[in-house]
Structure 1
Amino acid sequence: MHRIPRRPGATARSAAFLVSGALAVTALAGCGSDDEAGKPAARQDIAPAAREQIKDGGTVRWAIDALPQTLNAFQADADASTTRVTGAVLPSMFRIDAQGRPVRDADYLEKAEVIETEPKQVVLYKLNQQAVWSDGREIGAADFAAQWRALSGKDSAYWTAHNAGYDRIEKIERGKNDLEVRVTFAKPYADWRALFSPLYPKDVMGTPDTFNEGARRTLKVTAGPFALGATDRDAKRITLKRNPRWWGRQPKLDQLVLAAVPRAERPAALAAGKLDLADVEPGGADRIAYAARDQGSSGPLAHGPGAALTPAEATRSWARAHGEDEEAADEETAARAKTRKAVKKYTAEQAELHGFRLRKSLEPAYTQLALNGSSGPLTDERVRRAVARAIDRKQLAESVLKPLGLPATTVDNHLALAGQAAYADNSDALGKQDTAEARALLAEAGWERGGPVDEQKKDGTKDGTKDGKKDEEKPKTAGSTSDDSAKDSKDSKDSKD
């Protein structure tokens, strides 16, 4: 979304966009496919511009939810703001393109490929010889090895939030020269392109202390097109500036300012000229759309504060404000004045907002409901399948996406999203929502509607069992009794031992 300049010296050189929706959705946009099942659910509306059409210099003020609590993307309190900073100041071996595919970042990586699959999977990285950290040291195998050791999960002194993929690595070695890195996996790992993105310097990953505390508030060494500038925690801003040692194409912007602004306040901040770029909630998106629609119109707005007041309500309000009950009149007069002030403020903001354009796009992301089959009733595959067959995934998708004006599409694949090359609809393996089938599966597993849930005991057995074996094959239901009262008493005792 581009802001229409209103005066000389305004943010004419800064691109301003609005992206609607804060929820992750289930498909990609803007990519084509000959396979209908692999086509995205909706097209992008992002108004792309060629690099040569963008002026050099300027500052963009981009809204974030909060200043990052940590700049270590692998810690538990890392968030989207962390990702936004690290994406600009740290290396990534692969980045996601417009079609949601991992693509080699040539600024850091000349080549990366699987060179062996037997007896072990081996990936060879060939680094860009120009790629250096901000302290002048070359990016190399030592950085890869330090990150692997920190994230492998073998040393609990590292406060890591996740180690997927890194726990599959067996060793990392220098290749034929300093620009080659050999990564050998103990077990095959298909998503190896997701690793080392971002890549931290060995100074951060080398010890538990530097990992846990050394990269929370600052990064002393970086290697991206931007470098960390000032962080103003009172003003809730963090500034990224051009990296003078950057070897790739220079960024178009002089600075990128990330400003923490609550989502509900972003329309007002945009109107006040405090932001150039922001994700907005559906309500904020509506305000932008209303502003464009109302441009050039006269008279009161049909939305915003006081717009829902009916003529009858307005008449009653006037009567109360001019009635004989002085206390009620004072209260109504104050309320009317407050509404007039809110309407004036809202109208002024709307007049400014018509200079923005709303853009929408789906994200390469999804929302997943996972079943934990490691304990409890869900250890039984029949119960897991029953739960899956009972859930109406289409209805869940509609409840989340329709309010955003987005197509409600289920993922139907565990590994790829619609529009990606590897996508295929695998939902037939599970089957469609079927309540009768779900009940049949539960009955087969020994469950009966209205019955109690057996409690798992610490020794791995369940109540009503002896040595993990059922004394009687009875449906799992409330009120079951045995004709043999003595055996019932013994079973009850055994179940408590």
Structure 2
Amino acid sequence: MPRPPRTLLLLPLLLALVLGGCTGGSDRDARPRPSATTEARDGTTAWVRADPSDVRRGGTLRIGLGSLPVTFNPLHADAVGTDVERLVGPTTGQVVRITEDGGWEVDPDHAREVEVVADHPLTVAVRLNPDAVWDDGTPVTAADMAATWRALRGTDERYAVASSDGWDAIADVRPGRDRFGYTVRFAERRGDWPLFVSPRLPAQVAASPRAFNRTFRDRPLPSNGPFVTRDVDEDTGTITQEPNPRWWGDPPRLRRIVWRVAEPSVQAEAYAAGELDVATLDTDRDVPAAQVQRTSGSQWSHLTMNAGRGPLRDVAVRRAVALALDRDALARDVAEPVGAEPRPADSLLVLPGQRGYDAVARPTTRDVDRARRLLAQAGYTETRPLRLSLPVAGGSDALAARARAIRSQLAEVGVAVRLRTVAPDDFAAQVLVPLDFDLLTFSWGPSLLGPDAARDRFLPVTSPANVTGVASSAAPWDAVRDARSARARTAATARLEAALRREAVVVPLAVTPSVLAVRPGVVNVGAASFEQPRWATVGFRADD
């Protein structure tokens, strides 16, 4: 069906996700070897922890970065699918932090209190830390929160926002008894509300579409974190951050953070040459085993079926395709080059290590015999094979390899898949806008603090993130939203998962591991699936 104008405007955001893996590939000849790597016990955080008193003062931490940002504003549409959020981590702060298991806690550097004060409607009271300031000395206040909401809620199309999801659920932001307090009233319940109650931008930035869209393309956002960005050198691909002289919290341990831009293969070489302290790896070859950190990761690949046209309108055919996929093999393909444990993605809503995963996940086993029977019942036999198309964005060896593996697996049950390589610049116009495909594979990120963020991947049919061609039922989503306790919410999420898997429009494939090389002695930063570093505590162990 034709996409409405707003969906067309937002398609570049989806395109960035589809093309997110198109910057290189893994060395397919690399294989895991016995090692003493640091592997997170629960799969979520692998960095070495140290009390701040055990971290020495001073030193420069050198970190690899995938690419230079086209904007330093992580809330802008051009930041989708980039490393900007990671890059600005040392220079920004919010009233809550994401914890190791994907939960949240109040960050006392930025807030004294974050509390639900009413359920009908959901209302959250926030008391900011009155010591918190932007790097020009201006206090962080309720006015910044109100301006941030107005910029991000999606009602003013002059703002090219990365996403209005969540912000558009806020009915109003009301000032408190002074400028450091406010309440956020939501028009609808959301389990992930803690992600939308922080003043992400100074009011003077959020109030100006021009400032939001253009000012920070070549210079950093104002800082309210322990570091500030001092230099951006596009010629050498380096970004330098130093302690924020107006920081009110515990003094940062590091003297300097230097980000160096390079592809993962080049980062590994720079690490081996002693030029980086933290490097992202696409293979663990040539890196000392004890210096490799691995977590299960926060990205997961999937196969999406266009249920709005052709043979995939039949749910039995979609289930046959799902049953024919060897998800264990696909997980091995992505994990073995970096020596990680293969992890099939067993949920569309929750990742390994997140709260509720064991209750929600639905592991499935490949069943080619049943797949063949379902196809035969639907009228597809050797004389009338099922033929499907799978367009692939050019430029990513890993994505192309996954598409070939899917084609090979489906061929075993008599499904003929035609792969079609499409130039990245043409992918939106040729594939996403007209929904001209039967199958599509790319990766999604995590749905933090509940499945709310995943909703627009399934409904409505006009959602820019929904490429299934149909809309799932709203009822099980609403049941999760309306759950009043954590136990009830988990149970409702499990029922939602079951409903989505029965529809079989999206098949979860594999969790992509996060693998970093980290120099011995570096503490409180490294490989993690969800947890955010406390950058003021990051540094080098005092006794090293």
Deviations 1:409-463 (A, max 9, x none): 22323333323332224344x8543334445555666767526789xxxxxxxxx
Residue 132 of structure 1: how far off its partner (Å)? 1.5
Name 1:287's counterpart in structure 2: 286
Residues 268 and 450 of structure 1: CA distance in aligned 2, closer, same or farther (over 3 Å): closer
Residues 380 and 274 of structure 1: CA distance in aligned 2, closer, same or farther (over 3 Å): same
Deviations 1:354-408 (A, max 9, x none): xxx5131205403131536673245554444443333232222122112322111
CA contact (8 A) 2:294 2:340 kept: no
Residues 161 and 445 of structure 1: CA distance in aligned 2, closer, same or farther (over 3 Å): farther
Give the letter for the 1:287 counterpart: D
Give the letter for the 2:385 counterpart: G
Inter-partner Cα distance in structure 2 for 1:420 and 1:427:
11
Partner SS for 1:365: strand
Name 1:114's counterpart in structure 2: 116
Partner SS for 1:367: strand
Deviations 1:145-189 (A, max 9, x none): 222222222222211232221122222211333222211222211
Residues 198 and 281 of structure 1: CA distance in aligned 2, closer, same or farther (over 3 Å): farther
Name 1:105's counterpart in structure 2: 107
CA contact (8 A) 1:30 1:99 kept: no
Q: 1:450 pairs with 385, 391, 398, which one? A: 385
Name 2:161's counterpart in structure 1: 160
Name 2:540's counterpart in structure 1: none
CA contact (8 A) 2:153 2:164 kept: yes
Q: 2:349 pairs with 410, 415, 434, which one? A: 415
Inter-partner Cα distance in structure 2 for 1:442 and 1:101:
42
CA contact (8 A) 1:131 1:139 kept: yes
Inter-partner Cα distance in structure 1 for 2:315 and 2:182:
42
Q: 1:84 pairs with 83, 86, 103, which one? A: 86
Give the letter for the 1:375 counterpart: G
Name 1:202's counterpart in structure 2: 203
CA contact (8 A) 1:142 1:202 kept: yes
CA contact (8 A) 2:152 2:163 kept: yes
Inter-partner Cα distance in structure 2 for 1:242 and 1:142:
26
Whose strand proportion is higher, 1 or 2?
2
Name 1:405's counterpart in structure 2: 339
CA contact (8 A) 1:371 1:384 kept: no
Partner SS for 1:167: helix
Inter-partner Cα distance in structure 1 for 2:142 and 2:378:
52
Name 2:33's counterpart in structure 1: none
CA contact (8 A) 1:88 1:225 kept: yes
Residue 267 of structure 1: how far off its partner (Å)? 4.1
2:70 aligned with 1:57, yes or no? no
Give the letter for the 2:116 counterpart: V
Q: Please give the residue correspondences for 1:69-468 in structure 2 after superposition, counting only pairs within 5 Å.
A: 69-78=70-79, 79-118=81-120, 120-195=121-196, 199-219=200-220, 221-282=222-283, 285-289=284-288, 358-369=291-302, 371=304, 375-377=308-310, 378=312, 380-428=314-362, 431-439=364-372, 441=374, 449-450=384-385
Inter-partner Cα distance in structure 2 for 1:84 and 1:393:
30
Inter-partner Cα distance in structure 2 for 1:151 and 1:207:
12
Give the letter for the 1:402 counterpart: E
Partner SS for 1:250: coil
Residue 258 of structure 1: how far off its partner (Å)? 0.9
CA contact (8 A) 2:46 2:295 kept: no
Give the letter for the 1:398 counterpart: R
Name 2:506's counterpart in structure 1: none
Residues 183 and 85 of structure 1: CA distance in aligned 2, closer, same or farther (over 3 Å): same
Residue 56 of structure 1: how far off its partner (Å)? 0.6
Structure of higher RCO (CA pairs closer than 8 Å, 6+ residues apart): 2
Task: Output the TM-score relative to the length of structure 1.
Answer: 0.63
Larger radius of gyration: 1
Percent of matched pairs sharing the same residue: 33
Residue 242 of structure 1: how far off its partner (Å)? 0.6
Residues 371 and 261 of structure 1: CA distance in aligned 2, closer, same or farther (over 3 Å): closer
Q: Number of matched residues?
A: 351
CA contact (8 A) 2:102 2:355 kept: no
Residues 405 and 159 of structure 1: CA distance in aligned 2, closer, same or farther (over 3 Å): same
Partner SS for 1:112: strand
Aligned residues: CA RMSD: 3.2
Inter-partner Cα distance in structure 2 for 1:374 and 1:150:
35
Residues 281 and 410 of structure 1: CA distance in aligned 2, closer, same or farther (over 3 Å): closer
Residues 419 and 268 of structure 1: CA distance in aligned 2, closer, same or farther (over 3 Å): closer
Give the letter for the 1:140 counterpart: T
Deviations 1:164-222 (A, max 9, x none): 21122222211333222211222211111233568122222212211111222223522
Give the letter for the 2:349 counterpart: L
Give the letter for the 1:358 counterpart: Q
Residues 134 and 359 of structure 1: CA distance in aligned 2, closer, same or farther (over 3 Å): same
Out of 176-185 and 53-62, give the one that drifted further: 176-185
Residues 432 and 90 of structure 1: CA distance in aligned 2, closer, same or farther (over 3 Å): same
Give the letter for the 1:365 counterpart: S
Partner SS for 1:371: strand
Residue 273 of structure 1: how far off its partner (Å)? 4.0
Inter-partner Cα distance in structure 2 for 1:233 and 1:263:
19
Residue 126 of structure 1: how far off its partner (Å)? 1.8
Residue 236 of structure 1: how far off its partner (Å)? 1.4
Give the letter for the 1:286 counterpart: R
Give the letter for the 1:160 counterpart: V
Inter-partner Cα distance in structure 1 for 2:388 and 2:282:
41
CA contact (8 A) 2:169 2:187 kept: yes
Residues 382 and 90 of structure 1: CA distance in aligned 2, closer, same or farther (over 3 Å): same
Q: Please give the residue correspondences for 1:9-24 in structure 2 after superposition, counting only pairs within 5 Å.
A: none
Deviations 1:447-497 (A, max 9, x none): 67526789xxxxxxxxxxxxxxxxxxxxxxxxxxxxxxxxxxxxxxxxxxx
